Amino acid sequence: MSFAEVKKRMNELTPKELDDLALHIEFLRRANDPAWRAEMARRAEEAANGGKLYSAAEVLALHQRLIAEGR
């Protein structure tokens, strides 16, 4: 599929599908970034060694706060 075909198909997506696509593209960009991968490895090691872990409720509250702030 060519880039032109991809762009054409993107015009057919729903807003939810566009949001999902944007998240996936951001994931792909970061997944290939050595600095991001190193930071994720550092954070995983920190958590495994007793670093601060967050409950699902804390993560949800933070997420809601960031949405309310427009971030």
Which residues span the domain enclosing 56? 3-68
Domains identified in the chain, total number: 1
Residue 44: burial class (beta carbons within 10 Å; 0-12, 13-18, 19+): exposed
Instruction: Please name which of 56, 34, 52 lies closest in space to residue 43, comparing C-alpha atoms.
Output: 52
How far from chain centre, in Å, is Cα 28?
Answer: 9
pTM greater than the 0.85 cutoff:
no
pLDDT value for 15: 95
Q: In this structure, what token pair is assigned to residue 2?
A: 């060519």
Q: Contact at 8 Å (CB) between 2 and 10?
A: no
Per-residue pLDDT of the chain in tens (71 residues, 90 and over written 9): 899 999 999 999 999 999 999 999 999 999 989 999 999 999 899 989 988 888 999 999 999 999 999 88
pLDDT value for 50: 87
